[in-house]
């Protein structure tokens, strides 16, 4: 099982029986989901589909979105990791980084910590040399995380801001 430990977090594969209810709780919050996909909160069934899709991506691609657990409490904080975006066309098919954390975990540096670990995993464990990010217009919190990671703004497309980082120059 692929696991990464950071000072405060455990990034691991999904355990559907344990993780579904807490993920569904996180994804049912309109504030959490407002900049994800179509911005709609997700149901329990949709959250189950997300876990299934993320696990399939792990099996098919050798990378994916991690379940993010707090080391101290074992509580599921959210989902962070790598995926292959299908839109906008400029980044479709590239490898992207994404995250969504429960609102109670915002503003504590968890997104940056987990996303940085995901970038290091991409480069060191998977040999991926470039990662992109797609950020909804107005998602200033995510832009701050991307800037902390050293990702650079590369343009706009379909109402989203695009960022990228060449991991061969990444200094974590």
Which tokens hold the place of 152? Answer: 């650079």
pLDDT of residue 168: 81
Question: What is the pLDDT, as a whole number, of residue 56?
Answer: 95
Mean pLDDT in the chain?
A: 94
What is the C-alpha separation between 93 and 86, in angstroms, rounded? 6
Q: Is the pLDDT of residue 172 over 70?
A: no
Give yes or no for residue 1 having a pLDDT over 90: no
pLDDT at 82 over 70: yes
Percent of all residues in the chain with a pLDDT value above 70, rounded to a whole number: 98
pLDDT at 108 over 80: yes
Range 122-128 average pLDDT: 91
| Residues in contact with 117: Cβ distance below 8 Å, sequence separation at least 6, in sequence order | 4, 6, 9, 11
What CA–CA distance (Å, rounded) separates 9 from 76?
Answer: 10
Mean pLDDT of 33-56: 95
Q: How confident is the model at residue 100 (pLDDT cuts 50, 70, 90)?
A: very high
pLDDT in tens, 130-140: 999 999 989 99
Reference 76, options 57, 100, 56, 52; nearest CA is 100
At 81, is the pLDDT very low, low, confident or very high (cuts 50, 70, 90)?
Answer: very high
The 3-state secondary structure of the chain, one letter per residue: CCEEECCCEEEECCCHHHHHHHHHHHHCCHHHHCCCCCCCCCCHHHHHHHHHHHHHHHHHHCCCEEEEEECCCCCEEEEEEEECCCCCCCCCCCCEEEEEECHHHCCCCHHHHHHHHHHHHHHHHCCCCEEEEEEECCCHHHHHHHHHHCCEEEEEECCEEEEEEEHHHCCC
More confident residue, 96 or 171: 96
Q: pLDDT for 57-66, tens place per residue? A: 999 999 999 9
* Per-residue pLDDT at 153 exceeds 90: yes
Residue 167: pLDDT over 90: no
Q: How far is CA 99 from the centre of its chain?
A: 3
């Amino acid at each position: 099982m692929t696991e990464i430990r950071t000072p405060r977090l455990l990034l691991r594969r999904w355990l559907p029986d344990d993780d579904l209810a807490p993920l569904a709780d996180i994804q049912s919050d309109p504030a959490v989901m407002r900049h994800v996909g179509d911005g709609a909160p997700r149901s329990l069934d949709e959250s189950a589909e997300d876990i299934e899709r993320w696990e399939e991506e792990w099996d098919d691609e050798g990378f994916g979105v991690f379940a993010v657990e707090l080391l101290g409490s074992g509580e599921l904080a959210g989902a962070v990791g790598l995926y292959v975006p299908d839109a906008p066309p400029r980044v479709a098919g590239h490898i992207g980084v994404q995250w969504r954390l429960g609102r109670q975990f915002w503003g504590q540096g968890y997104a940056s910590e987990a996303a940085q670990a995901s970038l290091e995993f991409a480069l060191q464990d998977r040999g991926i040399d470039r990662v992109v990010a797609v950020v909804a217009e107005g998602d200033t919190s995510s832009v701050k995380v991307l800037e902390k990671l050293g990702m650079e703004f590369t343009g706009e497309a379909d109402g989203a801001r695009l960022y990228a980082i060449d991991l061969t120059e990444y200094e974590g």
